[in-house]
Amino acid sequence: MKITDVTVTLFKWENIPLKSYDHEVKMVANNSDLGLVRITTDEGIEGHALLGLCVHPASLEAPYITRFLKPILLGQNPLDRERLFQSMSRMRAQVSTLAVCA
């Protein structure tokens, strides 16, 4: 089994409720976006992960997944997770931990 494609589909996330993590500070984030990362294989099996936070939109990470991580993943066995994770981790100068984990 080999990875044949890696895509990120972005979705608007509107009207995010206010969050308060202590009594003094309120986090305000009205709009953001989420991403659905999809990895497909030559056997028709797909894997999915969510990307994005209310204070860190997926649109910040999506281009780096397709530009830097996709070339590492294409043609690889998706079950070889540890080796793939190590390969992607070496790209941390270009991509964030959030992108690697997704």
CATH code, domain with 75: 3.30.390.10
Residue 34 confidence (pLDDT)? 93
Q: Return all residues near 75 (Cβ < 8 A) that are at least 6 apart.
A: 2, 3
CA distance 63 to 54: 18
pTM over 0.85, yes/no: no
> What is the extent of the structural domain holding 67?
3-101
% of the chain at pLDDT higher than 70: 87
Q: 72: which residues sit within 8 A by CB, 6+ positions away? A: 84, 87, 88, 91
* Residue 31 identity (one-letter amino acid): N
**Number of domains the chain is built from:** 1
Question: What's the whole-number mean pLDDT along residues 40-56?
Answer: 92
Cα of first residue to Cα of last residue in the chain, in angstroms, is 20
**CA–CA separation, 35 and 80 (whole Å):** 24
Which tens digit of pLDDT belongs to each residue from 26-38? 555 577 899 999 9
